[in-house]
A = this chain, B = another copy of it.
Amino acid sequence: MFFLGYRVINTRIYTRILVHTSANARLFSSYLPPRGDFSVLTDKDLSHFERIVGRTAVCTTGIDAYNTDWMKHYKGSSKCVLMPTNVHEVSEIIRHCYERRLAIVPQSGNTGLVGGSVPVYDEIILSLSKVKKIFDFDPQSGLLDCDAGFILEHINEKLIAYNYMMPYDLGAKGSCMVGGNLSTAAGGIRFMRFGPIHSYLLGLEVVLPDKNGSIVNFGRKLRKDNTNLHIHHLFVGSEGQLGVITRVSLGAVIKPAITQVAMLGVMNFADCCQILSNARKYLGEILSAFELMDLDSMKSLRDNESLQNVFCSDPPFTILIETLGSDEEHDHQKMDRFLNEVLDKNLAIDGIQAKSIEEIDYIWKLRETISLSLMRDGYVYKHDISLPLEYFYKITEVIREKVKSQATRVVAFGHMGDGNLHLNVTSSEYKEEIYNRLYPFLYEWVVKHGGSISAEHGIGRLKKPYMVFGKMSTCLRLSKELKTFFDPRHILSPYKMF
Contact = CB atoms under 8 A, between A and B. Distances in A.
A224 B452 contact: yes
Interface stretch (A36-44, A75-83, A194-202): A194-202
Contacts of A388: 138, 140-141, 222
A238 B234 contact: no
A419 B216 contact: no
A455 interface: yes
A478 interface: yes
Interface in A385-440: 386, 388-390, 415, 418-420
A318 interface: no
Contact of A474 (B215, B285, B455): B215
B224 A386 contact: yes
A231 to B, nearest CB: 7
A479 B256 contact: no
A470 to B, nearest CB: 8
Contacts of A452: 220, 222, 224-227
A475 B218 contact: yes
A333 to B, nearest CB: 7
Interface stretch (A322-330, A340-348, A371-379): A322-330
A225 B386 CA distance: 7
24 contacts: A140-B273, A140-B388, A141-B419, A187-B226, A191-B223, A191-B224, A198-B199, A216-B474, A216-B478, A220-B450, A222-B451, A222-B452, A223-B386, A223-B419, A224-B420, A226-B456, A228-B476, A229-B241, A229-B482, A229-B497, A231-B478, A233-B236, A285-B324, A330-B330
Interface of A: 138, 140-141, 184-185, 187, 191, 195-196, 198-201, 208, 214-218, 220-231, 233-234, 236-238, 241-242, 254, 256-257, 273, 277, 280-286, 324-327, 330, 333-334, 386, 388-390, 415, 418-420, 450-459, 463, 467, 469-472, 474-476, 478-479, 481-483, 485, 497
